[in-house]
Amino acid sequence: MSTDPRLPSAGAVGSPVILVVEDEPLIRLTISEYLRDRGFEVIEAASGDEAQLLFIHDTRIDIVFTDVQMPGVLDGLALARWLGEVHPTVMILVASGIADLRALACQVCERASVFEKPYDHQAIVDRIRVLAD
């Protein structure tokens, strides 16, 4: 039986639902599986545009973990701005391998946690647990 990794997985009761937004399939799969292995419910999107569509149709999303640089109309910063305006209770984690984009993310997304790529998977989990408490 095949499952679609973009759809929610079974997570622990009371665990936050995390939307992972990353255009690089291997990176997205790796962090998504790491989060699932730690009991989180994960939804995946390959772009900010796809994330916005998924988010519109799934109000259970508590945390968005997004890359900054992605194809489409909404990159990670535009997605974070949109979330801040439309869904201000959603917590945001941003990752980028480019120093200038990380600095911009800190300025644009005051309430976001910003991570340098390559990031430590456990650091992401630790931050999610802090945000969830």
Mean pLDDT by runs of 10 across the 133 residues of the chain is: 43 78 98 97 97 86 94 93 91 87 69 87 95 88
Determine the pLDDT at residue 10.
Answer: 43
CB-based contacts of 78-84 (< 8 A; 24+ apart in sequence): 78/48, 79/21, 79/48, 79/51, 79/52, 80/105, 80/108, 80/109, 80/112, 81/108, 81/109, 82/52, 83/55, 84/109, 84/111
Pick the CATH number of 17-132 from 3.40.640.10, 3.20.20.80, 3.30.230.10, 3.40.50.2300: 3.40.50.2300
CB atoms under 10 Å from CB of 92, counted, come to 23
Distance CA(132)–CA(70), nearest Å, equals 26
pTM, rounded to two decimals:
0.86
Token pair, residue 106, equals 């800190």
Paired tokens of 39: 């009991």
